[in-house]
Structure 1
Amino acid sequence: MNSLRWRTIGVVLSLLLFGWYAAMNFVPAAARKASDWLPDQALRLGLDLQGGIHWVLGPNLAVAIDHELDVLRASIADTLAEKKITPTRMAVESGQLVAEMASADDARALREAAAETEVLRVASEQDARVVFALTPEWEQEVRRRGMEQMLEVVRRRIDDPIRGIPESVVTRQGADRVLVQIPGGQLDREQARNLLQQTGFLEFKLVLDEAPTRELLEKKYEAKGGLPADTMIAEEKEKGTDRPTSAYLVPKSPNLTGDFLTDARSSIDPRYGWIVNFTFNSEGATRFGKLTGENVGKRLAILLDGDVASAPTLQSRIGGGRGMIHGRFDAQSASDLAVILRAGSLPIPMRIEEERTIGPALGADSVRGGVWASLLGFALVAAFAVFYYRLSGVYATVGLLANLVFLLGVMAMSEATLTMPGIAGLVLTVGMAIDANVIIYERIREEIRAGKLPRAAIRTGFNKAFWTIMDANITTLIVGIVLFQYGSGPIKGFAVTLCIGIATSVFSALVIPRLLFDVYPGNRPVQRLSI
């Protein structure tokens, strides 16, 4: 008797807990967040139910190939320098490494140095001019690596821990495309474009010279035959108009890059307005401290994607690995830049190849249709169960109702995303949940026909049906896990609903009706069972 009491209390408390979270799905998000006692967790609606932005991005993987060739070019140049050989010309052009040497012997040494890389092949050769390309295997590896890096950076930008959108989808589509889905109106379209398309490559370069315009700066060096070797001109531009306001002569190679950043946050400064504070890791802090300490009094240009964001004068050594970027930011642009710097720079540029806007009206109709389908499915299954199994069918219906409460409660607690296929999974779960009850009840009927009393028939029916039910549901659960692992977007939504529904339906079928049978008939000496 004590066992029955404690089981009853446990089931009732579980129903109350999950029922509370399930009810939160029908409370507006604003009301939940404003309340101190209502939980924030609730079901999230996917793109197909609440509308939003759908993009297919196409990365320019040729840039990844060129970058790899440039790295190999520098490596080969170092090898040749050790042998006192200087190429007449060596540059990356259209996915190939073109080298021109002074003699045939130098060309031979070049081929030997390229062969040591094990990833270059000779595409063409004429006298002392040799053209190299990546081997097919290594080119495929470079493309794969570029896609993985780009996916990770885009995912970190969209799912940023401070301003991210948790229910968004960033996944690979085919061999060289990226699918991005941002539900609802949580992110402005232009803001999202900026987050996705801005490369976010941060560089720190010492200013060697400056002038109001590029033309004036170039004119300074006309008499000297042009700009000094290994230097370039970077411009600071006015926000909104992109009109150059200053031109700076800086080294081509950065003194420090944003690869060492660990954090970046926007804030407001009394002198400069909106700024972006950044923090380096230990290695970056050491390098930044050395760079600023050795160049006190000089200007340090902070470049973002090749343009100067700001160029402050170094007043003293900056220790602690912290600094700031100021440059005519408003609140939104400073916040967006912080997100981009936190996520890291994109290894390759990309373009938006497909763009769709999904309105919320279709999603609202789908939700209403899904709710009615679930209610209708539940009503039909319940009517069949009560008609065919009588009182035992009522017990099964109570189990079905508990299953829905558990299912919605678990999904709300875990803040799962409900998609249109997820609604189909919900309806499917209602239909599948009665299967376990049918197996149990048919077993009980067999035992009663074999001459057993109702109490013994109930116990034997549940025991014999247990492994049959588990085998069937574990098989379906494996399919759901595979769908979740390898599916994307709405498919994952269906898999989540299916997997949670399997777990809750097994519990509801094995525990709830058994508990009700223990309540009635329980230990009563009944001769017939309503089944």
Structure 2
Amino acid sequence: MLQIDTWKRVLIWATVVVGLILAMPNAFYTRVETHNDAVRAVENGGAAEGLAEQVGMWPGWLPSGLVNLGLDLRGGAHLLAEVQVEDVYRSRIRGMWPEIRDMLREERATIGTIRLQPGPEDQLRIRVSEGDEVQRAASLVRGLARPVTSLTGAGATDIDVSIEGDTIIVQLSDAEKLATDDRTVRQALEIIRNRIDEVGTREPTIQRQGSERILIQVPGLGSAAELKRIIGTTAQLTFQPVVTRSSGDDVTAGPGEEVLPGRGEDQGVRYVLEQSPVVTGEDLVDAQPSFDQNGRPAVTFRFDPSGARRFGNYTAENIGNPFAIVLDGEVISAPTIQAHIAGGSGIITGRFTLEESTELAVLLRAGALPAGLDFLEERTIGPELGADSIEAGKIATIVAFGAVLVFMALSYGMFGLFANVALIINIGLIFGLLSLIGATLTLPGIAGIVLTVGMAVDANVLVFERIREELKTAKGPARAIDLGYEKALSAIVDANITTFITAVILYAVGSGPVRGFAITLGLGIMTSVFTAIFVTRVIIVMWFERRRPKTLEV
């Protein structure tokens, strides 16, 4: 019997209404986008003139989710960066020197004095004065080795220790380098994402490519140079002991030391610092723009418990000595320690503008890049190209949509019109789902929607052709409709499941545009099956209950 329970009808139409309401903000894209930006600014403490009017441009009780436009539709910046993992090898080895030095000094009575020798930056070359005891000294250093924390490095240690005459050579093992490479790229990926999110851009694409490269695409950004400015600064903050300072250029550093220039008021001054920092930016848990006691822009910071303890212990033991605050290879301040600084908090002063102090706080809060970036490819895509793509996509969708509507109306008459209504609902549901999940629509995504328009009526064609076959067997109209849906269901499910599996595979193994196509195709398949099996059937049943036709013209 051709009938659908009332609760099923209510559930089907409720789903349709909710989907169309979710899709509705996209019909007022500019207005809703302005509203969303204003709401976000207010939540972040903004108080600019006109924000209240912009918030009121869209009712707060209505959904405000939009389908985000991708780089090829909105324009923006594209970068392909390579992480310089060798930088991490040098800093890791450099950071091991204080621990090795302190341990060997305790054995001075046996192995004699030790001295750090010049050598490659990714090695420590330690000369032992008592050459006969170099083997014992090397075994002590090997005792500092730790297991490699990766699956591929199981059973290996993080350092290789070798002997060359009376010199011990310490460097990272190959297994540790591989593990370090993976950790470094992952950390750089997360920090880049944090920095871009802090700026408030919409739906950036940040993903790893290969072993050492990162793809960054940010829609709506003015230029690739602006994007490089946001993510290209390493913002590596260190606090290092000062050995000496000089205004001349003939400053030399001894082993374990380095010469860094001053910045701001100390421009032209050269500082000799111990290479091993007491604390670094990795120990920071917070950084905020602030003002110093003279009302000038500054940045306040706070360390984690471990960093606070090291910072406090050092200041307690070195009262009266200068202490350098180093940012990206420049000494921005070198105050003299006046007293024990407990609590792990402090302030960075300098000749900052308010914008520079805010940007520095953002960079420090997001974290320091573990290594430098080499930009291999950069492109700026203008909004005009995106507008052309949107216009071309609109034309393609309208032509495909119109052709399908005409074909269905001419081929199946009244039933074709029912399928056309379901097709319109189907497009609305696709945009509703895209808005709900915050998906990004790209040009291939539009292609997926156009393909969905063509495929959406496929299920209806199967049902209508089956109804035709059932009418030829002299069954009544109600029975023919019922059997048409029943017997066509298996073919509909099989065809759409195989296509949906293809979309899942494309999403799993693809990237960028391929994923955009897979998302719209997968969502389109789900909404097409829903509208074909449920929505069209409800419409036909409601029509049949009202008209009670004796014959059907399908």
Equivalent residue runs for 1:49-68 within 5 Å: 49-68=73-92
1:237 and 2:263 matched: yes
| Whole-angstrom distance in 1 between the partners of 2:97 and 2:313 | 29
Q: CA deviation at 1:12?
A: 5.7
Q: Is the 8 A contact 2:262 2:331 kept in 1?
A: yes
Tell me the number of residue pairs that the alignment of Structure 1 and Structure 2 aligns. 516
Match of 1:491 in 2: 514
Q: Describe how 1:125-144 pairs up with structure 2 within 5 A.
A: 136-144=174-182
Q: Which runs of 5+ in 2 are unaligned?
A: 39-53, 146-155
Whole-angstrom distance in 2 between the partners of 1:96 and 1:288: 27
CA contact (8 A) 2:160 2:173 kept: no
Q: 1:397 Cα shift?
A: 0.8
Task: Provide, for residues 89-109 of structure 1, a one-character-per-residue CA deviation record: whole Å limited to 9, x for no partner.
Answer: 566616566566667755555
Structure 1 residue corresponding to 2:227, chosen from 165, 180, 192: 192
Counterpart selection for 1:394 from 404, 417, 420? 417
User: Is 2:402 the counterpart of 1:367?
Assistant: no
Q: Which amino acid aligns with 2:479?
A: A
Structure 1 residue 467, shift from structure 2 partner: 4.3
Is the contact made by 2:262 and 2:270 (CA closer than 8 Å) also made in structure 1? yes
Deviates more, 1:92-101 or 1:193-202: 92-101
CA contact (8 A) 1:455 1:522 kept: no
Pick one of 216, 239, 250 that aligns with 1:204.
239
Match of 1:167 in 2: 203
Matches within 5 A, 1:399-438: 399-438=422-461
- In the TM superposition, what whole-angstrom CA distance separates every residue of 1:417-462 from its partner, at most 9, and x where no partner exists? 1111111112112112122222222333333334432223323333
Of 371, 394, 403, 1:380 maps to 403
Structure 1 contact 395–516 (Cα < 8 Å) conserved: yes
Deviation at 1:228, TM superposition (A): 8.2
Query: Structure 2 vs 1, CA of residues 190 and 301 (structure 1 numbering), >3 Å: closer, same or farther?
Result: farther
Note if 1:330 corresponds to 2:365.
no
Matched-pair contact (CA < 8 Å) for 2:202–2:220? no
Change over 3 Å in CA distance of 1:71–1:202 after alignment to 2: closer
Matched, 1:41 2:79: no
**Match for 1:201: what amino acid?**
Q
Deviation at 1:258, TM superposition (A): 1.7
Q: Deviations over 1:490-531 (max 9, x none)?
A: 223222222222222222222210110121113764332232
Partner Cα distance (1:421, 1:321) in 2: 51
Distance 1:291 1:6 in 2: 71
Asked if structure 1 preserves the Cα contact closer than 8 Å seen for 2:158 and 2:175, the reply is no
Asked if the contact 1:66/1:92 (under 8 Å) is kept, the reply is no
Question: Is the CA contact (8 Å cut-off) linking 1:65 and 1:143 kept in structure 2?
Answer: no
CA distance in 1, matches of 2:130, 2:511: 56
Larger displacement relative to structure 2 (496-505 or 379-388): 496-505
Shift, 1:238, TM fit: 2.3
TM-score, normalised by the number of residues in structure 2: 0.80
**Does the CA-based 8 Å contact 1:484-1:492 persist in structure 2?**
yes
Separation in structure 2 between the aligned mates of residue 151 and residue 73 of structure 1, nearest angstrom: 29
> Which letter does structure 2 place at the counterpart of 1:152?
E
Segment of structure 1 superposing worse, 417-426 or 317-326: 317-326
- From 70, 93, 98, the equivalent of 2:120 is 93
Per the alignment, in what secondary structure is the counterpart of residue 351 of structure 2?
strand
**Percent of paired sites with the same residue:** 35
Question: CA-to-partner distance for each residue in 1:295-320, whole Å, 9 max, x for gaps?
Answer: 66765432212322234566666555
Residues 305 and 166 (structure 1), Cα distance of their counterparts in 2 relative to 1, 3 Å cut:
same
State the Cα deviation string for residues 367-415 of structure 1 (Å, max 9, x = none).
Answer: 0000110011111111111111211111111111011111122223433
Flag the 1:25–1:290 CA change in 2: closer, same or farther, 3 A. Answer: same
Alignment deviations for residues 93-149 of structure 1 (CA, whole Å, 9 cap, x no partner): 165665666677555557766877545898998655676776555443333333222
CA contact (8 A) 1:56 1:355 kept: yes
Task: Report the Cα distance in structure 2 between the residues aligned to 1:64 and 1:253, rounded to whole angstroms.
Answer: 14
* TM-score scaled by length of structure 1: 0.83
1:47: Cα distance to partner?
1.4
| 1:343 equivalent in alignment to 2:357 | no
Indicate how the Cα distance of structure 1 residues 136 and 290 shifts in structure 2: closer, same or farther if over 3 A, else same.
closer
Residue 61 of structure 1 aligns with an amino acid whose one-letter code is V
2:183 corresponds to:
145
Whole-angstrom distance in 2 between the partners of 1:209 and 1:73: 20
Question: Superposition RMSD on alpha carbons, in Å?
Answer: 3.7
- Give 5+ residue unaligned stretches, structure 1: 219-225
Amino acid paired to 2:178: Q
Per-residue CA distance 1:447-493 (angstroms, 9 max, x = gap): 33344322233233333434443343333333333333443322232
- Distance 1:430-1:269 versus aligned 2 partners, 3 A rule: farther
Pair 1:10-2:14 in alignment:
yes
Choose 424-433 or 247-256, whichever is displaced more: 247-256
Amino acid at match of 1:25: Y
Residue 30 of structure 1 pairs with residue 34 of structure 2: yes
Amino acid in structure 1 at the alignment position of 2:215:
L
Any idea what SS the aligned residue of 1:527 has? coil
Give the match's secondary structure for 1:522: helix
SS for the counterpart of 1:180 is strand
Q: Distance in 1 between matches of 2:136 and 2:468?
A: 88
SS in 2 for 1:329: coil
Shifted more, 466-475 versus 315-324: the winner is 315-324
Preserved contact between residue 157 and residue 164 of structure 1 (Cα < 8 Å): no
